[in-house]
């Protein structure tokens, strides 16, 4: 006989206002750094909610944001969702035609844009069919010159708006609150709509001790962008728990991030492997910072190798590996050792920590082979990971046909090929399309990359399939050497290094040295681009 109380984001905002009004938010903007408190944030969120109303936004409307990780973006996270509108975070790195598509497809009504990103939006604004107004996020007194029209000044709008606002209580917990498009392997990006309820539950569960282990006493720096799966939902969890937030803005160089971690005594951070790889190289080059406050960092979005986890550990950066997708809010798996595993040998521990880990409480999973049967928990048999649960999408937004590919019988088919061991640790072997089929046998490109990246001269490596008349497909490695090692390492050196570490028939047919691995709009290896170039 419990109350039927809706799960609403408003609860988070209210808690941070009432219990943690003195707790700080650090925000790096284009022109200067800001410090404000959750108390200040609440007042600004109320002003912003009034502004949204005065601009004609109504419940259910989509409000776009085109911004870095900063306090104004955070204010939008709460003002929009708590007003029963939908926050559509636009990925800054989308190609123009994809950007045009996602804004028109979602039917964004207003777009809030960071001043330094104005040119990117100007390039496409002529083709936007639903946007009525642009609001510029800036510290400048006057608006920077822009072709966006009409363009309004965020701070001036806020200054003129009342400081109180009654957020609606009669919001259905299943109403949409957030939106993010995922880059499809073919065709245009597909939209995922998060609900009040899904964000609420995901924010709560991911804060648990065996996942982010987030507490009031922490200082959290999400490096993962607020335009990609809502910064993994971390801003919501932080505000709810009263955790100090450090918003790093647009400059994500290793030096800028390390200095910020030192200065603000960051205890928890999160980001994709590329970010932490660049930090690792920076530290290996002899740059020194006091990162002693750091408890751990979550790495996800792409695979973090055992070697990377080990090397970061030497610099006091304790990594835990997590897995998720835009469709899953995102966190699905997190790799935390069970208590008795701490007694196990070091190599075994690292191998486990490099797996994507254990399913989060609240979710269901099945791993199915080609025949549709569940695979054995033996760490060997491969199958496709399927998930379902309260923060897993059930379909793509307004895409009934394309939804059928991934959503079937109440499950999300992730396209990720995995194994699961006796302890329940899931290991992503590959994206289904990235696996290499050589003579009828599978080669995991991810496994091969991880071994190549152990080579001390290698900064990054991506392995793709190239067509082969005899074996159908063979692996080719695209390798980026560390700056100091350029031209000192040959194809034969890499192959000699791999010998004995992988099966002989896994050895790449070709090693290609390139300057940079092309990345997708969210910083993952863009194997599609590599295949187009070399395949
Ligand atoms: P996105 O929706 O852009 O976040 O991409 C989701 C995809 O990223 C997943 O389906 C995986 O293929 C990949 N991914 C996410 N996290 C990891 C991880 N920890 N290890 C390996 N691949 C990952």
Residue 490 bears catalytic tag: no
Cα(114) to centroid(ligand 1), Å: 27
CATH superfamily of 251-434: ANL, N-terminal domain (3.40.50.12780)
Binned at pLDDT 50, 70 and 90, residue 437 comes out as confident
Residue 496: CB partners within 8 Å, gap ≥ 6? none
Instruction: Select the highest-mean-pLDDT range: 192-206, 468-482, 516-530.
Output: 192-206
Q: Let me know if the fold of 10-185 is the same as that of 251-434.
A: yes
Closest CA to 386 of 402, 369, 401: 369
Q: What is the mean pLDDT of the chain?
A: 95
Does the pLDDT of residue 452 top 80, yes or no?
yes
User: In residues, how long is the chain?
Assistant: 535
Q: Would you call 338 a catalytic residue per the annotation?
A: no
Residue 202 has pLDDT above 90, yes or no: yes
Ligand 1 atom closest to the CA of 327, numbered from 1? 2
- Contacts for 347 with CB less than 8 Å, ≥ 6 apart: none
Could you tell me which of 459, 522, 534, 46 has the C-alpha nearest to residue 271? Answer: 522
Separation CA 476–CA 511 (nearest Å)? 6
Query: Over the stretch 498-518, which tens digit does the pLDDT of each residue have?
Result: 999 988 889 999 999 999 999
Q: Tens digits of per-residue pLDDT, 364-386?
A: 999 999 899 999 999 999 999 99
Does residue 535 carry a pLDDT above 80? no
pLDDT at 327: 97
What's the pTM? 0.91
Q: Average of pLDDT values for 311-319? A: 97
Across 433-449, average pLDDT: 86
- Ligand 1: residue of 302, 330, 333, 387 to mutate (most ligand atoms within 8 A of CB) is 302
Considering 89, 182, 243, 328, which one is annotated as catalytic? 182
Boundaries of every domain in the chain: 10-185, 251-434, 436-534
Name which residue sits closest to atom 5 of ligand 1, judged by CA: 325
Which pLDDT score, from 0 to 100, does residue 186 have?
A: 67
Please tell me the predicted confidence (pLDDT) of residue 523: 80
Give the pLDDT confidence of 471-480 residue by residue, as tens digits.
889 999 999 9
Q: What's the CA gap between 494 and 226, in Å, rounded? A: 38
Interval 184-210 mean pLDDT: 93
Range 103-113 average pLDDT = 98
**pLDDT score of 406:** 94
Task: Give yes or no for residue 8 having a pLDDT over 80.
Answer: yes
Instruction: Give the residue with greater pLDDT, 244 vs 94.
Output: 244
The average pLDDT across 275-285 equals: 93
Q: How far is the CA of 385 from the centre of ligand 1 (A)?
A: 12
437 is catalytic: yes
Q: What is the pLDDT of residue 431?
A: 84
Domain 10-185 sits in which CATH superfamily? ANL, N-terminal domain (3.40.50.12780)
How far, in Å, CA of 369 to CA of 391, rounded?
24
Output the pLDDT for position 184: 66
Residue 79 has pLDDT above 90, yes or no: yes
**Four-residue CA torsion sign, 449, 454, 460, 461:** negative
Mutate which of 305, 306, 358, 524 to test ligand 1's pocket (most atoms within 8 Å of Cβ)? Answer: 524
Calculate how far, in angstroms, residue 317's C-alpha sits from the geometric centre of ligand 1. Answer: 22
Distances (CA, A) of 237 to 12, 150, 375: 8, 34, 34
Would residue 182 show up in a list of annotated catalytic residues for this protein? yes
Binding pocket residue ranges, ligand 1, CB within 6 Å: 182, 229, 300-303, 321-326, 330, 356, 414, 416, 428, 431, 522
Q: How confident is the model at residue 521 (pLDDT cuts 50, 70, 90)?
A: confident
Taking 70 as the threshold, does the pLDDT of residue 185 lie above it?
A: no
User: For position 63, what pLDDT does the model report?
Assistant: 98
Q: Model confidence at 65, in pLDDT bands (50, 70, 90)?
A: very high
- At the top level of CATH, which class does the domain 436-534 belong to? alpha beta
Catalytic residue among 327, 384, 460, 473: 327
């Amino acid at each position: 006989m419990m109350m039927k109380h809706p799960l609403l984001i408003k609860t988070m905002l209210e808690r941070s206002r009432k219990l943690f009004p003195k707790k700080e938010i650090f925000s790096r903007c284009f022109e200067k750094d800001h410090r404000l408190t959750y108390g200040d944030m609440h007042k600004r969120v109320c002003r912003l909610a009034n502004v949204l109303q005065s601009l004609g936004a109504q419940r259910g409307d989509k409000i776009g944001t085109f911004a870095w990780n900063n306090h104004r973006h955070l204010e939008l996270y709460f003002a929009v969702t708590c007003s029963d509108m939908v926050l559509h975070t636009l990925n800054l790195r989308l190609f123009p035609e994809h950007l045009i598509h996602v804004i028109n497809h979602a039917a964004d009504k207003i777009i809030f844009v960071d001043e330094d990103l104005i040119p990117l939006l100007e390039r496409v604004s002529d083709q936007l069919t639903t946007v009525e107004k642009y609001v510029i996020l800036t510290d400048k007194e006057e608006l920077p010159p822009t072709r966006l029209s009409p363009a309004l000044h965020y701070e001036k709008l806020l200054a003129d708006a009342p400081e109180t606002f009654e957020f609606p209580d009669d919001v259905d917990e299943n109403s949409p609150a957030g939106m993010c498009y995922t880059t499809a392997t073919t065709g245009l990006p597909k939209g995922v709509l998060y609900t009040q309820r899904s964000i609420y539950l995901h924010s709560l569960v991911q804060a648990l001790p065996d996942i982010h282990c987030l507490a009031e006493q922490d200082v959290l720096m999400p490096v993962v962008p607020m335009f990609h799966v809502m910064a993994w939902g971390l801003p919501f969890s932080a505000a709810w728990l009263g955790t100090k937030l450090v918003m790093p803005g647009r400059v994500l160089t290793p030096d800028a991030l390390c200095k910020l971690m030192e200065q603000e005594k960051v205890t928890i951070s999160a980001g994709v492997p590329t970010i932490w790889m660049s930090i690792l190289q920076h530290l290996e080059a002899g740059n020194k910072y006091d990162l002693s406050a750091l408890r751990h960092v979550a790495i996800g979005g792409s695979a973090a190798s055992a070697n990377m986890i080990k090397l970061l550990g030497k610099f006091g950066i304790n990594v835990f590996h997590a897995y998720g997708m835009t469709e899953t809010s995102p966190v699905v798996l997190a790799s935390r050792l069970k208590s008795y595993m701490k007694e196990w040998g070091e190599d075994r521990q690292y191998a486990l920590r490099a797996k994507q880990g254990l399913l989060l409480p609240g979710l269901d999973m099945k791993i199915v082979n080609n025949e549709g049967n569940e695979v054995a928990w033996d760490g060997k048999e491969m199958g496709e990971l399927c998930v379902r649960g309260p923060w897993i999408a059930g379909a793509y937004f307004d895409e009934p046909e394309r939804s059928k590919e991934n959503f079937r019988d109440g499950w999300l088919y992730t396209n990720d090929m995995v194994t699961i061991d006796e302890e329940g640790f899931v290991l992503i072997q590959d994206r289904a399309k990235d696996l290499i089929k050589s003579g009828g046998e599978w080669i995991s490109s991810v496994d091969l990359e991880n071994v190549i990246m152990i080579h001390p001269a290698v900064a990054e490596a991506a392995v793709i399939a190239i067509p082969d008349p005899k074996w159908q497909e063979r692996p080719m490695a695209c390798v980026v050497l560390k700056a100091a090692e350029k031209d000192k390492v040959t194809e034969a050196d890499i192959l000699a290094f791999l010998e004995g570490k992988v099966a002989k028939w896994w050895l790449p047919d070709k090693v290609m040295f390139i300057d940079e691995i092309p990345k997708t709009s969210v910083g993952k290896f863009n194997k599609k681009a590599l295949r187009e170039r070399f395949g």
